[in-house]
Amino acid sequence: MSLALHQLLAACRFAARTLELERGNLGQPFGGFWEEILHNSLGVATLTVASLESYANEMYFEGSILEDSLRPSAAAEISTLIDREPVLKKYSLALAVRLEKRLNFGSPEVQNADALIKLRNSVVHFRPEWFGEQQSHEKLSRLLQHRFQPSPFLPNEPLFPRSWASASFAFWAVQSSVAFIKNFYAEIGLPCPLDQFDEQITLLLNPA
C-alpha cells in the first residue's frame, strides 16, 4: 500500500478549496471564512511534506535506488539507519550512494522543498512569539518571502504565523513538491512515479 500519492492528491483537493474560498470572499472584511482557509492551508503544508517523506521511505523500502549500488544486507542497513533522518537527507544519501553526488541546495527545486519543510515543521511544532519581538517567526517569513503571495485578507502582517495561509501558498506547495520529486528522479536517472498522474493532479487543482 502506497500513501505518498494519496497524500499529494489530498493536498491538491485542499489547495483547490483554498482558492475557492479566497475567490468567494474577495473584498470581504476579515471573518470566519478565514479559519477554513487556514485549515485547508494547514492540510496542504502537512500533506505535501508527508508525501515527500513517504516517497523517500518507499524508495528505500522497495530498494529501487540502492539495489544496483549495494549488497542487499548493506542496503537494508542503510535503510534502517536513514529512517529517522530529515527528509532531504534521505534523498541526498540516495544520490550519494547511487551517483556519488548530493542534492544541489542551490537549485530552486531543492530550495522550495526546504522552505516548505521548514514551514511544515513550524506549524506542527508551533512556538508562539510576541508581535514586535519575533525572531524565528521573522526568519521564516524572510525565507518564504517572494515564493508565493500572502493572504489578501492579512495584507499588513508578516507571512508567519498567519499570512502564509493563502491559495497562492497552497498551489506553490503542491507544485514545489511535484517539481522536487520530478527533479530528483531526473537526477538519479529513474522513471518518476508521478509522471503518470500529471493529468489527475491538474484536474484536482483546477476542478470544473
pLDDT digits (tens, 9 = 90+) for 93-105: 989 888 889 899 9
15 to 137, 167, 202: CA distances (angstroms): 23, 6, 11
Q: At 120, which helix (H) or strand (E)?
A: helix 108-124
Grid cell at residue 186: 531526473
Question: CA torsion, points 84, 90, 92, 98, in degrees to nearest 10?
Answer: 120
Number of H helices, E strands in the chain: 8, 0
- Are 108 and 78 within 8 A, CB to CB? no
Tell me the pLDDT of the chain (208 aa) as tens digits: 689 999 999 999 999 999 999 999 999 988 899 999 999 999 999 999 999 999 998 887 666 676 666 666 666 677 677 778 899 999 999 898 888 898 999 999 999 999 999 999 999 998 876 566 667 899 999 999 999 999 999 989 999 999 999 999 999 999 999 999 999 999 998 899 999 999 999 999 998 7
Helices of type H across 152-196: 167-188
DSSP structural state of residue 29: P
First-to-last alpha carbon distance for the chain, in angstroms, is: 30
The string of pLDDT tens digits covering residues 141-155 is 999 999 999 999 998
The predicted pLDDT at position 180 comes to 98
